[in-house]
Amino acid sequence: MKLDETHDPALESWVESANERYAEFPIQNLPFGRFRRSGGPPRIGVAIGDQVFEIEETSLNALAARGRRAATQLRLELSRELRRGNPNPPIDRLHPMTECEMLLPFDIGDYTDFYASIHHATSVGKMMRPDNPLLPNYKWVPIGYHGRASSVVVSGTPVHRPSGQIQQGSDAPVFAPSRQLDYECEVGFFIGSGNALGEPIPIAEAEDHLFGFCLLNDWSARDIQRWEYQPLGPFLAKSFATTISPWVVTLDALEPFRKPTAARPEGDPAPLPHLTGGDAFDITVEVWMRSAKMERLIRLSQTWFDQMYWNPAQMIAHHASNGCNLRPGDLLGSGTVSGPGRNALADERGCLLEITQRGTEPVELPTGEKRTFLEDGDEVHLRGYCERDGFRRIGFGGCRGTLVP
């Protein structure tokens, strides 16, 4: 771990709301985001307590392009500026979050979604290939596909139910609204400094190209996807919307929650040399939802990002291994974060396809309603946080979307 004075759990801020025990944004976090006030121009800030602290940067893409060292130095300066005891606290740069409209943090040039949870891949694979759920390449290569950057939206943006070709049994396909609309609970991460076209990123240097993390919901139309995905993979079933949280938690803020990637089960192949390395990050991710008839959110699942089969460094190194040029602000999704099933405290499965076993085991809501997939008016929230003895708990803010006709 690369710890410094910014990780000291005793640090407090002159922004009092940041010092509350369960504050998502204590001074040890300081995630970056883009916002505007009263319809004004976009600005860059960091979250501190229930406030946004405006900074002089004009673009997160430009900050990311300067590399991790520049972001680390800026975070250190902001930490010192926001600490309790600053004799001249710049209160004029502080704005209540309730008065800020959050925007996409980066200008996202490209978006790639991976399939890095072996628990999710196995669970879904069993539905289609009960005797052979994992395809032969899964344990050798991080599986991914190129998503659609233009339809990445910030938390709170309504999501319109997509239409597409749907085929059932031996019938001819029809063009209709999806009836199997699902969420996917994911962790996203943004590229910092990129690489030149034709120059791979060695895995030992992969994290130097990683700026920070967000929550990501890659909405999925399962019935459209089932018809279109062979042989080239997801297309219209995914490209209608991907929701991300507005705050980007930096790699530096996550240092206390770094841990070795879990050992592979006996008999699994070791990663090839160019994919050997990288760490996991202990991030808890939860899915909450409510229907239009419900007053309160209910939790559907709780799962852990450190259970992924492939870690972020491996995904970055693989993406660039053929010389593909990653650019500042590019977004990578982890794929659905799922655990092996259900434990004593929570369901660990990160999508309704898994939770309802392809619609055969409906979820019953407190109102008596049942869900196999999402209905219009359903609201889905992703929440994420990190906690570890000896360090301040930090959060990711919300990733929220409501399905509309």
Q: Is 120 a residue of the active site?
A: yes
In angstroms, the first-to-last Cα distance of the chain is 47
Sign of the C-alpha dihedral computed for residues 64, 70, 72 and 74 taken in this order: negative
- The residue annotated as part of the active site, out of 7, 95, 119, 120, is 120
Where are any strands of DSSP class E within 226-326?
242-244, 249-250, 258-260, 279-281, 284-290, 298-304
Tell me how crowded residue 241 is: count the other CB atoms within 10 A of its CB: 21
Return d(Cα 61, Cα 73) in angstroms, integer.
16
Q: Hey, what's the torsion of the CAs at 210, 215, 219, 222, to 10 degrees?
A: 80
Return d(Cα 234, Cα 333) in angstroms, integer.
14
121 Cβ contact list (under 8 Å, min separation 6):
115, 133, 134, 138, 143, 309
The radius of gyration of the chain from alpha carbons, rounded to an integer in Å, stands at 21
CA 322 to chain centroid, in Å, comes to: 25
Q: Which residue has the tokens 């999806």?
A: 178
Indicate which residues carry an active-site annotation: 120
